[in-house]
Chain A
Amino acid sequence: MSLGDDRPLLSVRGLVKRYGPQVACLDVGFDLWPGEVLGVVGESGSGKTTVLDCLSGRVAADGGRVEYATAAGDVVDVRRLEEPRRRRLLRTEWGVVHQNPRDGLRMGVTAGANVGERLMALGARHYGGIRDAALSWLTQVEIAADRVDDLPETFSGGMQQRLQIARNLVTRPRLVLMDEPTGGLDVSVQARLLDLLRGLVADLGLSAIIVTHDLAVARLLAHRLLVMRAGEVVESGLTDQVLDDPQHPYSQLLVSSVLHP
Chain B
Amino acid sequence: MSDPALEVSGLDKHFTLHVQGGARLPVLTGASLRVAPGECVVLSDPSGAGKSTLLRVVYGNYLAQGGKVLVRHRGAMVDMAQASPRLVLDVRRHTMGYVSQFLRVIPRVPALDVVAQPLRDRGQAPFEARARARALLERLLIPERLWTLSPVTFSGGEQQRINVARVFVADYPILLLDEPTASLDAASRLVVVDLIREARRRGVAILGTVHDAQVRGEVATRVRTLASAEAA
**A interface residues, Cβ below 8 angstroms from B:** 1, 3, 33, 36, 191-192, 194-195, 198, 202, 219-220, 223-224, 237-238, 240-241, 244-245, 247-249, 252-253, 256
User: Given A3-B86, A238-B88: A191 and B18 within 8 A (CB)?
Assistant: no
Check A195 against B87 for contact (C-beta < 8 Å). no
| Distance in angstroms between the alpha carbons of A220 and B117 in the assembled complex | 13
Q: Which B residues are in CB contact (< 8 Å) with A191? A: 106-108
Within 8 Å by CB of B61, from A36, A241, A252, lies: A241
User: Given A3-B90, A223-B85, A256-B19: A241 and B106 within 8 A (CB)?
Assistant: no
User: Given A237-B85, A244-B56: A202 and B120 within 8 A (CB)?
Assistant: yes
User: Given A244-B56, A249-B19: A202 and B121 within 8 A (CB)?
Assistant: yes
| Distance in angstroms between the alpha carbons of A195 and B89 in the assembled complex | 20
Interface residues on B, range: 20 to 34
Check B108 against A192 for contact (C-beta < 8 Å). yes
**B interface residues, Cβ below 8 angstroms from A:** 15-19, 56, 60-63, 74, 76, 78, 85-90, 104, 106-109, 120-121
User: Given A3-B86, A198-B106, A252-B19: A247 and B63 within 8 A (CB)?
Assistant: yes
Known: A1-B78, A245-B56. 9 other contacts (CB 8 A): A1-B76, A3-B87, A36-B86, A194-B108, A198-B106, A223-B89, A237-B85, A244-B61, A244-B62
Check B62 against A245 for contact (C-beta < 8 Å). yes
Q: How far is the CB of A225 from chain B (nearest CB, A)?
A: 9
- A5 closest partner in B (C-beta): B86
Check B106 against A220 for contact (C-beta < 8 Å). yes
Q: How far is the CB of B56 from chain A (nearest CB, A)?
A: 7
Residue from B17, B60, B76, B106 having most chain A Cβ neighbours under 10 A: B106
Q: Which B residues are in CB contact (< 8 Å) with A244? A: 56, 61-62
Q: How far is the CB of A121 from chain B (nearest CB, A)?
A: 32
3 closest Cβ contacts across the A-B interface? Answer: A249-B18, A191-B107, A238-B85
| Distance in angstroms between the alpha carbons of A194 and B86 in the assembled complex | 22
Within 8 Å by CB of B74, from A1, A220, A248, lies: A1
| Distance in angstroms between the alpha carbons of A237 and B89 in the assembled complex | 11
Check A219 against B89 for contact (C-beta < 8 Å). no
Check A241 against B62 for contact (C-beta < 8 Å). yes
User: Given A192-B108, A253-B19, A256-B19: A224 and B85 within 8 A (CB)?
Assistant: yes
Check B18 against A219 for contact (C-beta < 8 Å). no
Check B86 against A245 for contact (C-beta < 8 Å). no
Question: What would 18 A/B residue contacts be, using CB atoms closer than 8 Å?
Answer: A1-B74, A1-B78, A1-B87, A191-B107, A195-B107, A198-B106, A202-B120, A224-B85, A238-B61, A238-B85, A240-B61, A241-B62, A241-B63, A244-B61, A245-B61, A247-B16, A252-B18, A253-B19
